[in-house]
């Protein structure tokens, strides 16, 4: 954009259909966490076969990692921001079985995502997700009030989110872009 302010009324709109989340469909962006991952379980050597373990995703972080719970409320299915992380995978794991929608874009070598390849997915609340390093994404959209989601990420990212300039945030582990401001386009998720 050439520096002019863009608002909801003057923005172009692009619709992105929401698809069911599956291990195969999400493979370009990361891995399902949960039974839907398709990972083979292994019985524990203890507990008389009553505990099985699986490793559905390889979590990656090189430093100070944070586990938090975000409570999200329904909001318009309009993407204003897209972000990526350079030093860690990020996980969203639902609590209480409540569904959510998430938007992803494959990692790019440029400073913007490939807008023609953005995909949105509906998670049924039974499985979470662990993104690849560099995957473009928007924070999940709740389908029901008070949707609790475990978020695992680096504390550095939380600090980087405080580096706000021109309604964006950045730092060594964060690149958060205001897509509406930069493109004049609202990406609307068709749920």
76 or 68: which leads in pLDDT: 76
Mean pLDDT of the chain: 87
pLDDT band at 1 (very low <50, low <70, confident <90, very high): very low
pLDDT digits (tens, 9 = 90+) for 81-100: 999 999 888 999 999 999 99
**Entry pTM:** 0.81
pLDDT digits (tens, 9 = 90+) for 31-54: 877 766 666 777 777 777 777 666
Q: What mean pLDDT comes out for the span 155-179?
A: 88
Residue 111 has pLDDT above 90, yes or no: yes
137 and 119 in contact (C-beta within 8 Å)? no
The confidence score (pLDDT) of residue 69 equals: 82
Is 90 exceeded by the pLDDT of residue 17?
A: yes
**8 A C-beta contact, residue 92 and residue 149:** yes
Domain ranges across the chain: 12-190
Whether the predicted pLDDT of 58 surpasses 70: no
CATH code of the domain made up of 12-190: 2.60.120.480
pLDDT: is 160 or 62 the higher one?
Answer: 160
Burial 151-182 (b: 16+ CB within 10 A, else e): bbbbebbbebeeeeeeebbebebbbbbebbbe
Tell me the pLDDT tens digit for each residue of 113-153. 999 999 999 999 999 999 999 999 999 999 999 999 988 88
Mean pLDDT across the stretch 48-65?
A: 72
- Whether residue 104 is predicted with pLDDT greater than 60 in this model: the reply is yes
140 burial via Cβ count (<10 Å: 0-12, 13-18, 19+): buried
């Amino acid at each position: 954009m050439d520096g002019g302010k863009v608002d909801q009324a003057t923005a172009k709109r692009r619709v992105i259909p929401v698809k069911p989340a599956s291990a195969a469909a999400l493979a370009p962006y990361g891995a399902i966490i949960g039974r839907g991952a398709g990972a083979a379980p292994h019985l524990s050597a203890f507990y008389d076969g009553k505990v099985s373990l699986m490793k559905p995703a390889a979590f990656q972080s090189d430093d100070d990692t944070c586990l938090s719970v975000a409570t999200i409320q329904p909001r318009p299915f309009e993407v204003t921001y897209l972000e990526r992380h350079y030093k860690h995978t990020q996980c969203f794991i639902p609590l209480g079985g409540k569904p959510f929608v998430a938007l992803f874009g494959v990692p790019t070598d440029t400073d913007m995502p490939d807008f023609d390849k953005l995909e949105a997915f509906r998670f049924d609340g039974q499985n979470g997700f662990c993104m690849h390093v560099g995957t473009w994404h928007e924070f999940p959209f709740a389908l029901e009030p008070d949707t609790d989601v475990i978020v695992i990420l680096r504390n550095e990212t939380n600090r980087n989110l405080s580096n706000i300039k021109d309604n964006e945030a950045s730092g060594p582990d964060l690149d958060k872009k205001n897509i509406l401001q930069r493109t004049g386009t609202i990406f609307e998720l068709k749920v």
